[in-house]
Structure 1
């Protein structure tokens, strides 16, 4: 029962984080940055739910690891020559959200319930920090 509750909390935290990243994607418009952030949102959802497999080797699929790499804050700058439009203070929470999501599947190698009970609120806090950064006045 506790394991199921921990898995649900992780999935809920991942969904909230993915929703925030989708908002970042929407802000980018239809270009490459937006498409990349949409993929990141989907990877967060997967890593915080379907990829947490009790009894598995705890490894995140290579494609998801690549998608959630810290260079996500650079967006598609290698092809566009520009950075994604992020408000001051959004880059660090974006990195934190991706790093935390990446860590979720490995929780099956330790004390799954305890680790998810620690990581899920941290993912929620990183998401809240990202949302708050967008609301801060600039200038």
Structure 2
């Protein structure tokens, strides 16, 4: 397990070379409300990614499983490592791709769709879209916005898990 917000860059050391860029804020530079919101976003992202990994584990086609694994990793990264106060709030291109709505279509050129139960598609798109929106919270009222997105991410994950459970008990 990582320490709280261990992904945040450490402050520059006194021996840092002049041409090295200064690092971003650390835990001590954040107020307790911001810190709580960042932890909340991380926790919601981890829960959502766990559900998406369950979907990946059900796939017979390894290419679809890999696409869902990439989405799960993207959800974790976008809800945690990309939410850095003081940064530009932009989502990296590879994350935009892995969290795009085409996660529903699965891997390209397979001729098939991922195996998703009724009711799982909409929550899957929702968790990807909500995670993708999280980095932009650093540009506004981070605690309020990130907490709202984390709450909605939890709700989408809960709806997805409910659909997964309903299908598992019906089949």
* TM-score between the two structures when normalised by the length of structure 1: 0.96
Q: Tell me what 1:108 maps to.
A: 138
User: How many Å apart are 1:134 and its aligned residue?
Assistant: 1.2
RMSD over aligned Cα, in angstroms? 1.2
* Runs of 4 or more consecutive aligned structure 1 residues displaced over 6 Å after TM superposition: none
Larger helix fraction of residues: 1
CA distance in 2, matches of 1:127, 1:66: 20
Paired residue for 1:43, among 74, 85, 90?
A: 74
* Residues 18-97 of structure 1 aligned to structure 2 (within 5 Å): 18-29=49-60, 31-76=62-107, 78-97=108-127
CA distance in 2, matches of 1:17, 1:117: 15
CA distance in 2, matches of 1:80, 1:30: 9
Q: For residues 63-108 of structure 1, what are the alpha-carbon distances to aligned partners after superposition, in whole Å with 9 as ceiling and x for unaligned? A: 00111001111111x3110000000010000000000000000000
Look up the SS of the partner of 2:89 in the other structure.
Answer: coil
Length, aligned pairs only: 138
User: How many Å apart are 1:29 and its aligned residue?
Assistant: 3.7
Q: Larger radius of gyration, structure 1 or 2? A: 2
1:120 aligned onto 2:150: yes
CA distance in 1, matches of 2:72, 2:61: 15
Look up the SS of the partner of 1:34 in the other structure.
Answer: helix
